[in-house]
């Protein structure tokens, strides 16, 4: 049923050239003008797609409405990376003890992970519940079809990764992970960072 509301975003969306706004979802079909904020019961003719703005097309900045998703992706990729590097180090060490990393190793590792476009290339844009979202591993919006990948999304995610880890400190981020902190909270709901994601309590009641 959800599939009816999901459509690959058209690349040819240049019609909003003068009105560059962000976060718009466009619906066509019955009730197209009504914006109740509530997803209607199955109406197969109605199709929603993310309006493709000038900013989406050219700007290297992550659009505001997608920042939280993007940050959560960054946290997911870094968590995966830290797991990988720690497991590899453990496998190599004869004593099977947790290996300690030098700060410069972590700095280099985080920089490499963030600039590795391959980790971010499968993420893309999707419309879920009339809201445009990023989709990919680590997010509940993950799906195999209807995702518009490519374009500048991998580059934006990569640069956000570099920016956030730079602001919080690569070593501090690693340390938080090592101490069992959930990186999504540490990076995206950190009081030292400007409200990238709403607090979890708010998120859970948002629907």
Ligand X SMILES: *[C@@H]1O[C@H](CO)[C@@H](O)[C@H](O)[C@H]1NC(C)=O
Residues that bind ligand X (CB under 6 A): 77, 80-81, 84, 113, 119, 128-129, 140-141, 207
Least distance (Å) between residue 168 CB and ligand X:
18
Closer to ligand X by Cβ: residue 37 or 194? 37
As a three-state string, the secondary structure of 62-126 is CCHHHHHHHHHHHHHHHHHHHHHHHHHHHHHCCCCCCCCCCHHHHHHHHHHHHHCHHHCCCCEEE
Least distance (Å) between residue 169 CB and ligand X:
19
Cα four-point dihedral sign 46, 34, 23, 182? negative
Closer to ligand X by Cβ: residue 63 or 81? 81
Cβ-closest position to ligand X: 81
Closer to ligand X by Cβ: residue 57 or 80? 80
Closer to ligand X by Cβ: residue 81 or 124? 81
Least distance (Å) between residue 144 CB and ligand X:
14
One DSSP character per residue, 1-37 reads -GGGG--PPPTT--TTSS---SS-EEEESTTTT---S
Least distance (Å) between residue 120 CB and ligand X:
10
């Amino acid at each position: 049923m959800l599939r009816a509301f999901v459509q690959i975003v058209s690349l040819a969306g240049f019609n909003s050239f003068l009105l560059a706004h962000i976060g718009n979802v466009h619906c066509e079909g019955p009730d197209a003008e009504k914006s109740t904020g509530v997803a209607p019961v199955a109406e197969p003719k109605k199709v929603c797609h993310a309006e493709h703005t000038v900013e989406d097309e050219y700007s290297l900045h992550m659009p505001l409405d997608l920042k939280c998703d993007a940050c959560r992706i960054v946290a997911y990729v870094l968590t995966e990376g830290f797991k990988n590097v720690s497991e590899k180090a453990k496998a190599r060490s004869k004593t099977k003890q947790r290996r300690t990393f030098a700060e410069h190793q972590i700095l280099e590792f985080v920089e490499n992970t963030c600039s590795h476009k391959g980790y971010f290339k499968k993420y893309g844009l999707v419309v879920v519940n009339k809201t445009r979202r990023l989709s990919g591993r680590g997010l509940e919006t993950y799906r195999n079809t209807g995702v518009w990948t490519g374009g500048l999304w991998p580059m934006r995610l990569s640069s956000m990764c570099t920016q956030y880890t730079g602001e919080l400190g690569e070593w501090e981020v690693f340390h938080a992970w090592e101490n069992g902190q959930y990186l999504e909270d540490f990076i995206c709901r950190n009081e030292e960072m400007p409200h990238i994601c709403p607090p979890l309590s708010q998120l859970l009641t948002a629907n």
